[in-house]
């Protein structure tokens, strides 16, 4: 049964990612939509696992559905990889390198921020 919940949550995460993608369509060469969703997802997963799920106890099924299903489909490493290769292929080497560096460093920063929000809430 957990597979069904993860699948439903995954579908919702993918739909949200798609909606963000079409709302952030720009004429820019830089893949802003993927960057925004991956950074937001990094924060969200850290915040959910360290803050929300600690305050509101949820079953492992719900935690897996939200974390693996929703957030996992909302963010995507494969799109980051393909878009980076496309930037390189189109001779946008510096943009491709910047995209990878900002994605990785930004994802780590946003995850850290998600953990830090929990510590600030605990202090209050």
Q: Residue 3 above 70 pLDDT?
A: yes
Which range of residues forms the domain containing residue 2? 1-122
Cβ-Cβ contacts under 8 Å for 18 (sequence gap 6 or more) = none
21 membership: H or E segment, kind and range: helix 2-23
Q: Residue 102 above 90 pLDDT?
A: yes
Question: Which parts are annotated binding residues?
Answer: 72, 75
Of 20-24, 87-91, 113-117, highest mean pLDDT: 87-91
Question: Which parts are annotated binding residues for Na(+)?
Answer: 72, 75
Q: 37 in helix, strand or coil?
A: helix
In angstroms, the CA 50 to CA 118 distance is 6
Of 17-26, 77-86, 114-123, highest mean pLDDT: 77-86
Q: Give the chain's domain count.
A: 1
Which of these, 83, 7, 4, 91, lies nearest to 38 by C-alpha position?
83
Q: Residue 1 above 90 pLDDT?
A: no
Percent pLDDT > 70 in the chain is 96
- Give tens-digit pLDDT for 25-83: 778 899 999 999 999 999 999 999 888 888 888 899 999 999 999 999 999 899 999 99
């Amino acid at each position: 049964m957990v597979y069904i919940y993860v699948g439903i949550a995954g579908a919702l995460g993918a739909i949200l990612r798609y909606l963000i993608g079409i709302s952030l369509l720009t004429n820019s060469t830089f893949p802003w939509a993927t960057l925004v969703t991956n950074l937001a997802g990094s924060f969200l997963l850290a915040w959910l696992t360290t803050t929300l799920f600690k305050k509101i106890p949820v079953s492992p099924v719900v935690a897996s559905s939200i974390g693996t299903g929703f957030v996992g489909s909302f963010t995507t490493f494969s799109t980051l990889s393909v878009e980076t290769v496309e930037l390189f292929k189109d001779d946008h080497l510096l943009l491709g390198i910047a995209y990878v560096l900002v994605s990785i460093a930004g994802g780590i920063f946003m995850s850290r921020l998600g953990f830090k929000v929990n510590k600030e809430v605990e202090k209050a």
